[in-house]
Amino acid sequence: MSATHEIETVERIILAAGSSAASLAELTTELGLARIAPVLIEEILFRAEPAPDIEPTEVAVQITHGVETVDFVLKLQSGELIKAEQRPVGDVSLRIGYELTDLIAELFGPGAPRAVGARSANFLRTTTSGSMPGPSELSDGFQAISAVVAGCGHRRPDLDQLASHYRTDKWGGLHWFTPLYERHLGEFRDRPVRILEIGVGGYNFDGGGGESLKMWKRYFHRGLVFGMDVFDKSFLDQQRLYTVRADQSKPEELAAVDDEYGPFDIIIDDGSHINGHVRTSLETLFPRLRGGGVYVIEDLWTTYAPGFGGQAQAPAAPGTTVSLLKNLLEGVQHEEQPHAGSYEPSYLERNVVGLHVYHNIAFLEKGVNAEGGVPAWVPRSLDDILHLADVNSAEDK
């Protein structure tokens, strides 16, 4: 299956999970159990987190749809799910059963998953002689089946926890961004969003990068996550997480990424941090961002770093990222500013409705910045204010 076809299939399943029962039933009839089940199993493999000291253990997951049934055997070992095989359950004694539409809703539906009543479960483990297994075998079995059941839903760890788990630098030591991301992106968590992060990390080292992309994939359980980098990061590609090679300093390449995979709801610039590249990316991609979306710029410190096109001076020099943000702040107020003659506001002035700047990170909210300025008849000058006060005083007498 091509990447585009896979993205379309996964997105259709996600959208159906948040739609009506009739729409979900229609999709399952069209795609069928054989096509949908592997998507669900791959998601379970990503989310499940077995204990680090578990011995090799197998858990069977059975998915039914009408009269059809498909079985997968998941193998857990040393803190990870290492594989899933589609094969008969056989003598696997740890078994979990789901109806297809229930499992889709558990994995990709909005809101919290049901605590009970979504699955069948059997813990049938015995020794070969039929006697009760020993404590360590029982413990491994309990941990194995618990990990798989947890992977079948969408628990809600916060971004601090996820950043630590996936070892991204967005939290702890170098940066402390995740509480701010929670504040500004939390409202998107249950939505079927598309996220683009510029800069995958790891530079050109083999196997390097992708930590924050995995964090976003886990946080936005209904989202599609795209990472853009100048280096080939395709080894990271997996269901709901895709990479593309492009240069953020080239508007035509940025536009091509959006044409292929957008429009995006969230764009995060954690790329080169070169001041000119930041401006190019913003001016190219912000107009393509969905209305109501959020555009994030990280690492504002490069404003003062000559190696990144900044200048070691304060206040920020023209052309730097902080200077750009200062201009955007004025642009949000464009309807209140005195303009000589006919003035045509820029796209950013007309569509940046919120600007939140913190240490080393900024969040730009997209909307329609055209609420209308304060009417001209409202006094502005001190003389006009005093005159109005005199008029009101005279009328009161």
Instruction: List active site positions.
Output: 273
Q: How many helices (H) and strands (E) does the chain have?
A: 13, 12
Taking only Cα atoms into account, the Rg of the chain, rounded to an integer number of angstroms, comes to 27
Strands 94-99 and 80-86: what pairing? unpaired
Provide the angle, in degrees to the nearest 10, between the axes of the packed helices 178-185 and 159-166. 130
Tokens of 119: 């699955």
Give the helix, strand, coil percentages of the chain, each rounded to 5.
Answer: 40, 20, 40
Backbone torsions φ then ψ of 164, nearest 5 degrees: -65, -40
> Longest C-alpha distance within the chain, in Å?
104
Closest CA to 153 of 107, 104, 220: 107
> In which order are the strands placed within the sheet that holds 68-77?
80-86, 68-77, 57-65, 94-99, 120-123
Tokens of 61: 């997951």
Where would I find the beta strands (DSSP E) of 38-79?
57-65, 68-77
Verify cis geometry, omega within 30 degrees of 0, for the bond prior to 315.
yes
Closest CA to 88 of 70, 103, 76: 70
CB distance 57 to 141 below 8 Å: yes
β partners of residue 62: 71, 97
Q: Which residues contact 394 (CB under 8 A, 6 or more apart)?
A: none
Closest CA to 221 of 144, 291, 157: 157
